[in-house]
Structure 1
Amino acid sequence: MGKKVVITDYQYENIDAERRIIGARGYELCDYQIKDAGELIPVCRDADAIVTQYSDVSAELIDSLEHCAMIIKYGIGVNNIDVEAATRKGIYVCNVPDYGVEEVSDHTVAMMLALAKKLPVLTRALREGDWGYGSTVPLSRFCESTVGLVGFGRIPQLVAKKLKGFGVAIRVCDPYADENLVREYGAEPVELDELLAESDFISVHVPLTRETRGMIGEAEFRRMKSTAVVINTARGGVIHEKALVEALKTGRIAGAAVDVYEEEPVKADNPLLHMDNVIATPHCAWYSETAITTLQRKVAEEVVNVLDGNKPMNCINLS
């Protein structure tokens, strides 16, 4: 019997590319729209490969797998997959780390510039009949700002590259980044406390792990300038959302731009959606038509690569 590939869930218009690439190798492709781990157990038990987007790929589900070789995420962050459980069973956990880096870095810079020029404030004021710049006072010159990047992987590297032309000073906190590489991008490596204290714009770019969950919380907001703004296009759980809301309400910080939330889809009554000093978007920083087609193609190619007996191109758990 041919090998079986299960797609647990997806939000794309179709999976024609996956069917074409995986089917061409003679592998069976089964697709569902199931998020719950318990409901997935009977359909995934005999899978050789699992493709997932938002489903809960729990330890219970992983332990039930009979001969699965790989679990791959439609995306970068694998926080919905129990990586430790997969590692114990010798199952590759893979992702596609480069499909949307241009889009996310663009989104980050766009949010930063919109906050720097107070565009949402200006737009709202003008609609209410306020002609002039009074609603934005005081406004600082962007090129005199300091931008702090928390994390220095592919996306923040592109953010640094794209910001270079604006003349801002860039600080980077990433204990895993090569300091020489950081300096090659015109940035200065610093500790987190220094970055928080010096930066006018603080942009978060770390994966959500046990170590990074809630790493920006009440204590960190107290270290920031009252004029600072925070941008998060990484994962909602990296920033303690309640502490962020409180910092914004009390004026501890000046503003925020968020594309990700602790609970997704975000609820309509989330305070971040109703604050004048916040830009909020629906976890779409990654999106472009090119990004979608690239992601779907690369996922299918990685599945075929591994089921053909090769080592994965992008594996996060097994060497």
Structure 2
Amino acid sequence: MSKSIRPKILITEAMPLITEEKKILSKYADVQVAKSTDEDNLIVEARDADIIMVVYARITERIINSATKLRGIVRYGIGVDNIDLKAASRRRIPVANVPDYCIGTVADHAFALLLALNRKLLLADNIVRTGNWGAWTSPSPKLMGVDLEGKTLGLIGIGKIGSAVAARAKGFGMKVIAYDPYIPKEVAERLGIELVNLETLLKNADFVSVHSPLTNETRGMIGERELKLMKKTAYIINTARGPIIQEEALYKALKNGWIAGAGLDVYTKEPPDRDNPLFKLENVVLTPHIAYYTQEAIWRLEMTAVEEAIRILQGQLPKNLVNKEAFT
């Protein structure tokens, strides 16, 4: 009598707790980590996969259509712009994400970028390391920041992460305004946030922090026109998705003094090219898409993704179903 064929889970990129994941998932399926995230390779490796678990790899229509046994796709993270949702929905393949694992974590990182920019921490560190201690006493001191109390933080998007950033800003005595066409005024008022249009936000904020998902509406929403509306003393922070800000326009704004600086954890292309002109500027703080990256957040992320994969294998819909319209 032949053995029954076990389900297969294909993990596109190994996460830090991959050993713990495998221990749990191997009770339900064979677990395989992809050799590479190249589309042609994933087409081959996903052919017999029941579940695809993905971090950054692009799960294209070709990959989805080649996976004839596919029962679900689980994204380690919030955004699903790297997954062809339409292709998955056409085959009624549930797509799950992990929406709540890093709310405070990303909010902390956004505020860390804000503080680093305002107090010129990278420049200050460099001055100490290079023995240039007296540089800060020049007539136009490069290291002078501003008090945050009484300053205005403008949030583009006040979902869970944006709201968490607002709470942190209020702890510093900041006024918070926001642009979010999907949030009712009453909800914003309960959070102590004043809803305004985008132009008003950009003109009045001392710090602008982006917390919107990447959609057709938000892609490229911050370009030259928007950056020129900002105060010359203002800073912009992006821990959401790189393509929301037009990178070439941002470089011009930073280079030409339209704004004071920027803090970026996300980029139009990831990883960015090594000759990205932003790298040459002093008034930008750059981190490698790590806003979500703490011990606690990674544990929540991986274990929730594992739970969703198991639910799908057991014939249930995932709790965090993204493409609900395919199942109504």
Q: 1:310 aligns with which of 298, 316, 323?
A: 316
1:109 and 2:111 equivalent?
A: yes
1:67 and 2:69 equivalent?
A: yes
The corresponding residue for 1:100 is 102
- 8 Å contact 2:124–2:143 — kept in the other structure? no
- 8 Å contact 1:17–1:300 — kept in the other structure? no
CA change 1:18–1:137 in 2 (3 A) is closer
The corresponding residue for 1:57 is 59
C-alpha distance in 2, partners of 1:269/1:144? 38
The superposition leaves residues 73-125 of structure 1 with CA deviations (integer Å, 9 ceiling, x where unpaired) of 11112121111211122111111112222221101111112222233343344
The superposition leaves residues 129-154 of structure 1 with CA deviations (integer Å, 9 ceiling, x where unpaired) of 32555524764321121101111111
- 8 Å contact 2:120–2:143 — kept in the other structure? no
Where does 1:193-232 land on structure 2 (aligned, <5 Å)?
Answer: 193-232=199-238
- 8 Å contact 1:18–1:296 — kept in the other structure? yes
Q: Calculate the TM-score normalised by the size of structure 1.
A: 0.94
C-alpha distance in 2, partners of 1:20/1:300? 11
Which sections of structure 1, spanning at least 5 residues, go unmatched? none
Where does 1:117-266 land on structure 2 (aligned, <5 Å)?
Answer: 117-126=119-128, 127=130, 128-130=132-134, 132=136, 134=138, 135-136=141-142, 139-266=145-272
Deviation at 1:34?
1.9
C-alpha distance in 2, partners of 1:290/1:139? 32
- 8 Å contact 2:78–2:97 — kept in the other structure? yes
CA change 1:67–1:289 in 2 (3 A) is same
SS at match of 1:300: helix
Letter matched to residue 3 of structure 1: P
SS at match of 1:72: strand
Aligned residues: CA RMSD: 1.8
C-alpha distance in 2, partners of 1:133/1:144? 26
* Greater alpha carbon shift after TM alignment, 247-256 vs 139-148: 139-148
C-alpha distance in 2, partners of 1:273/1:223? 24
The corresponding residue for 2:20 is 17
Q: Calculate the TM-score normalised by the size of structure 2.
A: 0.91
Letter matched to residue 8 of structure 1: T
SS at match of 1:130: helix
C-alpha distance in 1, partners of 2:319/2:300? 15
For this pair of structures, how many residues does the alignment match? 317
Q: 2:46 aligns with which of 41, 44, 69?
A: 44
1:31 and 2:33 equivalent?
A: yes
C-alpha distance in 2, partners of 1:3/1:301? 16
- 8 Å contact 2:158–2:211 — kept in the other structure? yes
